[in-house]
Structure 1
Amino acid sequence: MADLDSAFREYYPPSREQRQAAMTEGMVCLDTNVLLDAYRFNPRVRDELLVVLEKLSNRLWVPHQVAFEFHKNRINVISDQAKSYTDALKSLEEFRGHFAENIISKIGHLGRTVALTKAEGEDIVRPILAGINSTIQEIGALQQRHGVHLDMITNDNVLARLESLLKGKVGDPYTAEDEEKERQEAQRRIDNKLPPGYADASKSDPHGDYLLWSQILREAKIRNAPILFVTRDGKSDWFRREKGQTISARVELIREARETAGCELIAMSTQTFLLHAREYLDAQVSDELLREVEKFPEPEDDLQPNSSARQSGDEVTFMTRVALHYLLKEIESERSRLRSLTSQAQRQMDHYSHLLEESDSPLERSVIEDQRGDSEDRLTALRRRIRQLSQTKNFLRSPVVINEGNSVGYPREHLERVLSIIGSQIIMRGLAARESEIAVTEDESDPRLPGTWI
């Protein structure tokens, strides 16, 4: 007679002992997205990941289907990474051109309106252009450090490192006859919503996940070792989730591994694998590597060159976010400067209030009241600008949900608004820098104010 746990072991989360056995003794199988992510990491983080994988030695194994998908999509990933930099730089170049064509003339009009000298007008323009040029240079330097560019298509040092890592560790392909049979089984599973692979029914090749799974089972049966499958694919046809929590691999897959290959199955995200590598393999896994892995979305589009995410208008890629990061730092710096001026203005107003309490001369009190009124106006303007900067910062840090909630990013029209606001904030900083004298806007709802564009 069976026990409660032994007869239904697939319903239990992996125990600590099972995880340790998988990490130290198991056959570690990588999904395609893990290999492709090597191109997405910066060089230091990439090296760290590959060193962890090297620790696995001969226990590391890649199904033939994974190797095929990797080579099929490698150039697309390289191109996407290069395009990220190109798009970011293009957006900034366009903004610089827009500034030169439109905003400088408006600053000239402002100078004629409020009687700025030529030097004062140049003092406003100079930091804006310097900020844009500095950001362009930062992105260019970041691209050089990242080391992923179109030249890698023919001279790929990442590929050379992966080839060395996986030498003798890639599975054999199916014969044409066996592959046809496996594809029929894959289609049967898709039709009946059986894992894995049914979540990929809309892909150009919907059978890929099942093919790599069947190859894993074939190799595991030969090795008679636990299976540790590492993937960034968190779809429901691989993982069992309850109430938003990931429990384990799908029950059906755990059962199939036992019945077909006579071994245990544990599926892990890349991040979870790295955390366990730190604990069980004594691997050097930095918090930076864990953060890099965590910020990547699930790889629904890795194998789809014309994916819906790219069609949806999400024009601001990761590197454009880097550009926004530097500009957000400018806004925060301006907020800090204005807070300091606000404190000074408040102290000055308190000083005039104290003088009013002590003065008995009507003429003196009249002068002090005028001075106190000027300080109060200045304090009001400072607080208004701090509030506008806070609103703008919150706007820039709030992504827009697109693609029916499945993707988060900045559509092109949102980016144009973002860049307009950032440019206006820099202009405001240049104006505010004129001997710390801040003009008072007559109406807080003045449409020229960046804060009201939100």
Structure 2
Amino acid sequence: MAANIYTDFFEQSDPDLHNDVDTARAALYAIDTNILIDLYRYNEDTALQYLKALGAMRGNIFVPHQTIKEFWAVRDQVRRGTDHEASKGEVRSAARSLNKAVEKWGRRSTINGSPEIIALKSEVESIADRIISYIDENSTHQVNGETDFIVSGLYEALGDQVGEAPTEQELTKLRSEFEARIKKNQETPGSADLDKGAERAPGDYIIWQQCLAEAARRSANGEPVDLTIATSETKGDWVRSDNGINAGSMGDGQVSSLIGSPQKRARRYLVREYHDRVGGTLRLVGREGLLEIADKVFEAAVSDEAKQQVQETTDEIWTYSLVETYMADLRSMRSLPQLRVLIATAVSAATGRFIGIFKSSALELANREDLRGFIGAYQTPLRRRSFVELNENGITDPPISYSRGDESFVMDQYVAQLVIEVAESNPVYAAMLDQPRSWVKNWIAEQDKGSEISRNDEME
């Protein structure tokens, strides 16, 4: 049988770039955990409109059982609202910094501990308490009961579109498959989450397999269905970073011409795996892209104000004080090699041109031959008392992650900027900025030189 260049290489044809209204209306939409958790980050009106949008898509919606399992596991941490908790943390941090400045001045003036100094510090704390109380009184989603309007709204919107729970045997099989793929160094969802521990690391793989199984079931008696996974994920085990779409620095990997843009690009191995298993096309879309699809394709009538808030809501649950505490804990643990890699990854990711640094660069910085026992150290500060007491945002993942597929350390651009701010304020950290800044300068020059050569070739 005759074949063309894409016959055995379907994933290279970029099928996900073809997505018109008819295609979008027929697709199956799988919901990742972070889409549900993000509902707690919107104001009440926007959250209600998002719930209404999910309801409008109900017949096309699928929620993997693992998604709901993860939602219930973290819901109590986040239902107070991460944004207002971040603001409270910043207020407390500012109050502490101000009092430290007063104490420092007092020591120099030999009047530290005087009634006046004590009164000033007390006034600062009182003002901070009043601001925090005001934030609490004017924040939504602070619910002490067993339910809230988001949970009841999800119950109404999703109906019976949640997948069945896997048996213990099925769950054991999925975990074994994940471990086997990792041991064989095969690309797989979840490979960027190994630092989360054996219990949590396979979560993304389980979600992926549950999506595949549901799509195959719905395709059994007819045309293969396309699958769009709605997720806030940016890590390299899911999201492509080629073709000018930077998974780390651009957040949603913008492809403006598509229904549901800005859209993420799924890794080609996922596109291939889905096509081999189901026969359809795999796409990824962010939280605002899903809302756009609900509005334009399923006539959910979403207001411009709601769209704007969803678009402006970012994953900025890390704050300056949290990053500062995290880095201080790494230093106190004598994890200086990990600290060097953290700072280097931040320098690279903050440029917006890259998403982190390759394994080879990390090994050079850490003066190591391999990464055995290295990555797990990034999880330890999250369990230390100093961080836990400040962590009111429910952070469970380190600010840096390792992508096995790309063999690189990656970081969100916003977090990277915070890491650099902290590093520049501390002489010990600041000394670790020089080498990665030199590297990044050379990388950008090489990239720009390559682009110039490419443009000249095209002109010729």
Q: Does 1:290 align with 2:290?
A: no
2:232 maps to which residue?
A: 232
CA contact 1:36–1:70 (8 Å) conserved in 2: yes
Is residue 249 of structure 1 aligned with residue 249 of structure 2?
no
What CA distance in whole angstroms lies between the structure 2 residues aligned with 1:16 and 1:243? 12
Q: Which residue of 2 aligns with 1:219?
A: 214
Amino acid paired to 2:233: D
Query: Aligned AA for 2:210?
Result: Q
| 1:87 counterpart residue number | 89
Taking the aligned partners of 2:218 and 2:137, their CA distance within structure 1 comes to 43
1:158 Cα deviation after fit: 2.2
What does 1:30-179 correspond to in 2, within 5 Å?
Answer: 30-78=31-79, 81=82, 83-84=85-86, 86-91=88-93, 94=96, 140-149=133-142, 151-152=143-144, 154-179=146-171
Supply the distance in 1 between the matched residues of 2:10 and 2:177 (Cα, whole angstroms). Answer: 26
Residue 260 in 1 paired to residue 280 in 2?
no
Which residue in 2 is equivalent to 1:200?
193
1:6/1:184 CA distance change after superposition, 3 Å? same
Q: Structure 2: which 5+ runs fail to align?
A: 112-118, 220-224, 246-252, 254-263, 319-375, 394-398, 402-408, 426-460
What letter corresponds to residue 287 of structure 2 in structure 1?
A: T
Identity %: 22
Change (3 A) 1:317 1:46: farther
Amino acid at match of 1:194: E
Q: Offset at 1:83?
A: 4.8
> Aligned partners of 1:15 and 1:308: how far apart in 2?
39
- Tell me which structure has the larger Cα radius of gyration: 1
Distance (whole Å) between structure 2 residues aligned to residue 43 and residue 182 of structure 1: 38
Are the aligned partners of 1:14 and 1:248 in contact in 2 as well (CA < 8 Å)?
no
> Residue 187 of structure 1 corresponds to which residue in structure 2?
179
> How far apart are 1:71 and its partner, in Å?
0.8
* 2:188 match: secondary structure: coil
Q: Normalising to structure 1: TM-score of the pair?
A: 0.56
Cα root mean square deviation, aligned: 4.4
Which residue number in structure 2 is paired with residue 384 of structure 1?
none
Cα gap change, 1:173 to 1:40, in 2 (>3 Å): same
CA gap of 1:402–1:3, structure 2 versus 1, over 3 A, is closer
Between the aligned partners of 1:51 and 1:217, the Cα distance in structure 2 is: 26
Secondary structure in structure 2 of the residue aligned to 1:194: coil
One-letter amino acid matched to 1:13: D
How many residues are treated as equivalent by the alignment? 312
Contact 2:58 2:158 in 1 (8 A): no
Asked if structure 2 preserves the Cα contact closer than 8 Å seen for 1:191 and 1:198, the reply is: no
Whether the aligned pair in 1 keeps the contact of 2:40 and 2:81 (CA below 8 Å) is no
Amino acid at match of 1:263: G
**Distance of aligned partners of 1:47 and 1:196 in 2 relative to their CA distance in 1, 3 Å threshold:** same
Q: Which residue of 2 aligns with 1:271?
A: 288
TM-fit CA distance, 1:160: 2.0
TM-score normalized by the length of structure 2: 0.55
Cα offset for 1:239? 1.9
